[in-house]
Amino acid sequence: MTDIIQLLPDNIANQIAAGEVIQRPASAVKELLENAVDAAATHIQLIVADAGKNLVQVIDNGKGMSETDARMSFERHATSKIKAIDDLFHIKTMGFRGEALASIAAVAQVELKTRRAEDTLGTYIEIENSVVKKQEPCACPVGTNICMKNVFFNVPARRNFLKSNAAELRHIVDEFIHVALAFPNIFFSLTSNGQQVFHLEAGNLKQRILQILGNQYASKIVAVKEETDYMNIYGFVGKPDTARKTRGEQYFFVNNRFIRSAYLNHAVMSAYDEMIAKDSFPLYVLYIDLDPSQVDINVHPTKQEIKFEDEKIMYAFVQAAVKHALAQFSIAPSLDFTLNPEIQQLEAINKPFTAEKEQSAVSSSLFKTFTQKHQAHLIEPNQKSELKHWKEFFVERETTNGKRESEESIETLSPDIQQSFQPQTKNHKLQTETAFQLHNTFIIVASEKGFFLMHQQSAHERILYERYSTAAFGKKIAAQQSLFPVTIELAASDSVLLNDLLPDLHMLGYLIEPFGNNTFVIQGTPADVLQGNEKNSIELLLEQFKHFNSEIKFSKREKLVRCMSRQQSIKAGQSLTQKEITTLIEELFACKVPNTTPNGNPTYIEFKDDYLERMFGR
Ligand SMILES: Nc1ncnc2c1ncn2[C@@H]1O[C@H](COP(=O)(O)OP(=O)(O)OP(=O)(O)O)[C@@H](O)[C@H]1O
Ligand SMILES: [Mg+2]
């Protein structure tokens, strides 16, 4: 019998191997963006057409390639990033396999223009199906400009397997966001079918996160930062009320590489403990930097799954770091500085694999920070029911009142308020006669066990929010008729918006009638609005509402209520009479959720006697 085994031709072998690396246009996006980052670019543009099916182009201002390197870059296993097997354990670049460009060239038509700063002319290469079609010198800026056209043109089965443009574009945006979040100091833009989707100026990490997630998160994320000999963790986590029902904005980066890890995700979730509802997901963008020898990124072709040398320590550190951040930024408004043995009891720290590991864990600076130096880290959870889940609280109230009233009324609050609900102050005996105003902004009032520091604007926002919510979702607020009805003329788009809001505004005490031609007559306003100020208040409200519009998770009514409570609230800097101060305190503590503003900032901070004593070393 004749022999039957043959070597596959290069282009077929390449195509098969490419299947691992390039599964869809978004895979090419990831590889090309990472190459640009590795080339030390500071300005990276991504251009796609038809969700990348017809074009994925990346233009960078990085170091470019020589003529020979440009040609070599498309060979399989051709890389400038590692030289020996040992280098694999010290990788500082995103790429190391030398497979990405070879894979792309195996399944698409590729055009490359590249020039180094030291060369006068650059190189142009056209390659398709792993075959070079053209190579010539060309004039081009320093950096690299690479196009992948008609992906899978030569593998129709794969091309047909691609999803709808919307789905493929979603994958592309995800990959783009991962790289952009990992490198905030680099400019990135994304243009899809001629429309700019992202334009991200270089900046710091917080700026980059807000550019991507939206500015509305500015006051809703808290910084995480722990440095140890073994590893550093930094980034941001959402306050409990940013938790959503869908798993969305959760990002982990290890040595600047986006990774998926159910295990570390669990560590973060457990740090939120009972602060969020069981089936909701908090936002987080966390970065872990550690010695590359402690991770193996070579376990998956797309490098998104990695293996840690010591997983348990990772878990414990991540969980502790997030807990610390949440506690430090007084997510629970009361500052309670009692020691909590919980962290020391973590299995990972308590029972490391070996005595040696135990020693290294215990001597690591993070562990020490958590056990000795700043005892504030060790915040006692749930003691005195402070962080008890809101539902449990209502069960308690139900039995004491014998009624179900509370459970129903909480339903009228928006879901994220329900989640942030931390009942705790109903029983505080506040001595309102001691209350006084500081800097026309804060109110200080003694309690039985210490004192409360309250922010007058935040407190009033909460009061109005609950009042308007009740009105908007049920009991209408009475309008006060204006003596002199005011006419207001608006731009066409504002007029459409106002028309849309009229029924809700009516519930909130505004009597407004459309008069045709983008004109409206204000017949009455809620009692809180000063007479003579009607026109201004409507204009302001529309303006704020438009800004709020990016928050798609809120209903129209919820947005309106939030805008109105912010707009009508007493501002910082306003002097208050003693009577007003007392009313403010009483009304705040009559609220269902007195301790936070509608968007989750604290309305007050409680200072307890024992903590105060301790501050003085007593
Ligand atoms: N945008 C770029 N600017 C400069 N050099 C580049 C660029 N893209 C690729 N290269 C060069 O081409 C080589 C091959 O790139 P390729 O992406 O195929 O492999 P890699 O990045 O080394 O590893 P990996 O397959 O893990 O991505 C790189 O090692 C680099 O030297
Ligand atoms: Mg690469």
Does residue 340 have its Cβ closer than 6 Å to ligand 1? no
Ligand 2 centre and the CA of 40: distance in Å?
13
Ligand 2 centre and the CA of 101: distance in Å?
7
pLDDT for the residue numbered 572: 85
Q: Residue of the nearest CA to atom 29 in ligand 1?
A: 79
Ligand 1 centre and the CA of 33: distance in Å?
10
Paired residues of 47 in beta bridges? 57, 191
95 near 35, Cβ under 8 Å? yes
Does residue 88 have its Cβ closer than 6 Å to ligand 1? no
Does residue 80 have its Cβ closer than 6 Å to ligand 1? yes
Does residue 35 have its Cβ closer than 6 Å to ligand 1? yes
pLDDT at 360 exceeding the cut of 60 = no
Supply φ then ψ for residue 306, to 5 degrees: -135, 165
Ligand 2 centre and the CA of 13: distance in Å?
19
Paired residues of 227 in beta bridges? 232
Sign of CA dihedral 590, 596, 602, 607: positive
Return mean pLDDT, the chain.
Answer: 79
pLDDT for the residue numbered 423: 36
Does residue 95 have its Cβ closer than 6 Å to ligand 1? yes
256 near 301, Cβ under 8 Å? no
CB atoms within 10 A of CB 586: 12
Does residue 91 have its Cβ closer than 6 Å to ligand 1? no
pLDDT for the residue numbered 275: 80
pLDDT for the residue numbered 285: 96
For ligand 1, what atom is nearest to the CA of residue 143? 3
pLDDT for the residue numbered 383: 32
pLDDT at 412 exceeding the cut of 60 = no
Ligand 1 centre and the CA of 71: distance in Å?
11
> Of 175-184, 349-358, 547-556, 577-586, where does mean pLDDT reach its minimum?
349-358
Distance CA 283, CA 21 (A): 29
Does residue 99 have its Cβ closer than 6 Å to ligand 1? yes
**pLDDT tens-digit readout, 381-400:** 333 333 222 223 222 333 33
**pLDDT tens-digit readout, 423-470:** 344 456 788 888 999 999 999 999 888 888 999 999 999 998 888 888
pLDDT for the residue numbered 443: 94
Residue 552: band (very low, low, confident or very high) from pLDDT cuts 50, 70, 90: low
pLDDT for the residue numbered 462: 92
**pLDDT tens-digit readout, 263-277:** 899 999 988 877 887
pLDDT for the residue numbered 551: 55
pLDDT at 320 exceeding the cut of 80 = yes
pLDDT for the residue numbered 115: 97
- From 611, 585, 608, select the one nearest 437 (Cα to Cα): 585
- From 418, 346, 412, select the one nearest 593 (Cα to Cα): 418
192 near 51, Cβ under 8 Å? yes
Shortest-distance ligand to the CA of residue 102 = 1
pLDDT at 485 exceeding the cut of 60 = yes
Distance CA 54, CA 73 (A): 22
Ligand 2 centre and the CA of 258: distance in Å?
15
Task: Tell me what the mean pLDDT of segment 466-475 comes to.
Answer: 80
Q: Higher-confidence residue: 545 or 325?
A: 325
pLDDT at 318 exceeding the cut of 50 = yes
Distance CA 322, CA 269 (A): 9
CB atoms within 10 A of CB 6: 6
Does residue 203 have its Cβ closer than 6 Å to ligand 1? no
Cβ contacts of residue 564 below 8 Å, gap of 6+?
A: 464, 468, 508, 541
Residue 549: band (very low, low, confident or very high) from pLDDT cuts 50, 70, 90: low
pLDDT at 102 exceeding the cut of 60 = yes
Q: Residue of the nearest CA to atom 27 in ligand 1?
A: 95
Supply φ then ψ for residue 181, to 5 degrees: -70, -30
Does residue 44 have its Cβ closer than 6 Å to ligand 1? no
Shortest-distance ligand to the CA of residue 75 = 1
Shortest-distance ligand to the CA of residue 81 = 1
pLDDT for the residue numbered 237: 95
Residue 548: band (very low, low, confident or very high) from pLDDT cuts 50, 70, 90: low
- From 187, 41, 40, 14, select the one nearest 110 (Cα to Cα): 14
> Of 41-45, 170-174, 480-484, where does mean pLDDT reach its minimum?
480-484
Q: Is 159 helix (H, G, I), strand (E, B) or coil?
A: helix
Q: Residue of the nearest CA to atom 26 in ligand 1?
A: 95
Ligand 1 centre and the CA of 153: distance in Å?
23
Does residue 31 have its Cβ closer than 6 Å to ligand 1? yes
> Of 184-193, 245-254, 345-354, 589-598, where does mean pLDDT reach its minimum?
345-354
Ligand 2 centre and the CA of 146: distance in Å?
13
Q: What is the DSSP string of 570-609?
A: PPTT----HHHHHHHHHHHHTSSSTTB-TTS-BSEEEEEH
pLDDT for the residue numbered 180: 97
Distance CA 262, CA 265 (A): 5
Tokens of 236: 């941001």
Task: Tell me what the mean pLDDT of segment 46-68 comes to.
Answer: 97
Q: Residue of the nearest CA to atom 17 in ligand 1?
A: 100
For ligand 1, what atom is nearest to the CA of residue 74? 18
pLDDT for the residue numbered 427: 53
Q: Residue of the nearest CA to atom 4 in ligand 1?
A: 64
Q: Residue of the nearest CA to atom 8 in ligand 1?
A: 35
Ligand 1 centre and the CA of 32: distance in Å?
8
52 near 130, Cβ under 8 Å? no
Quick one: CA torsion of 27, 32, 37, 39, rounded to 10 degrees? 150
Shortest-distance ligand to the CA of residue 97 = 1
Does residue 100 have its Cβ closer than 6 Å to ligand 1? yes
Which of 372-405 are b and which e, b meaning 16 or more Cβ less than 10 Å from the residue's Cβ? Answer: eeeeebbbbbeeeebbbbbeebbeebeeeeeeee
Does residue 65 have its Cβ closer than 6 Å to ligand 1? yes
Conformation bin of residue 121: beta by default, left when phi > 0, alpha when psi is -120 to 50? beta
Q: Residue of the nearest CA to atom 24 in ligand 1?
A: 95
**pLDDT tens-digit readout, 492-547:** 777 888 888 888 888 888 889 988 878 899 888 877 666 667 777 788 788 777 76
pLDDT for the residue numbered 531: 62
Ligand 2 centre and the CA of 130: distance in Å?
17
Q: Higher-confidence residue: 254 or 361?
A: 254
Tokens of 108: 């698409």
239 near 223, Cβ under 8 Å? no
Shortest-distance ligand to the CA of residue 78 = 1
Residue 371: band (very low, low, confident or very high) from pLDDT cuts 50, 70, 90: very low
**pLDDT tens-digit readout, 197-228:** 889 999 999 999 998 888 878 888 999 998 88
Q: To test the ligand 1 pocket, which listed residue (32, 34, 38) has its Cβ within 8 A of the most ligand atoms? A: 38
Q: Is 442 helix (H, G, I), strand (E, B) or coil?
A: strand
**pLDDT tens-digit readout, 134-144:** 999 999 999 99
Out of 232-241, 385-394, 563-572, the most confident range is 232-241
Q: Residue of the nearest CA to atom 14 in ligand 1?
A: 73
Residue 110: band (very low, low, confident or very high) from pLDDT cuts 50, 70, 90: very high
